[in-house]
Amino acid sequence: MPDRRTDPVLTELTLTVNGERRRAAIDTRTSLLDLLRETFGLTGTKNGCSHGQCGACTVLLDGRRVNACLVLAVTAQHAEVRTVEGLAADGELHPLQRAFIEHDAFQCGYCTPGQLCSAVGMLEEVARGWPSAVTVDGAPTVTPDEVRERMSGNLCRCGAYVNLVPAIVEAAR
What is the residue extent of each domain of the chain?
10-86, 95-172
Helices (H), the chain: 32-34, 95-102, 112-127, 144-150, 161-172
Between vectors from CA 70 to CA 154 and to CA 113, what angle results, nearest 5°? Answer: 40
**CATH 3.10.20.30 is the classification of domain 10-86:** yes
pLDDT at residue 5, rounded to an integer: 72
pLDDT at residue 1, rounded to an integer: 57
pLDDT at residue 6, rounded to an integer: 77
Average pLDDT per 10 consecutive residues for the chain, totaling 173 residues: 76 98 97 98 97 97 98 98 97 97 95 98 96 91 96 93 96 95
Region 95-172: CATH code: 1.10.150.120
Between strands 10-17 and 20-27, the pairing is antiparallel
**How many other CB atoms sit within 10 Å of the CB of residue 61?**
20
pLDDT at residue 7, rounded to an integer: 82
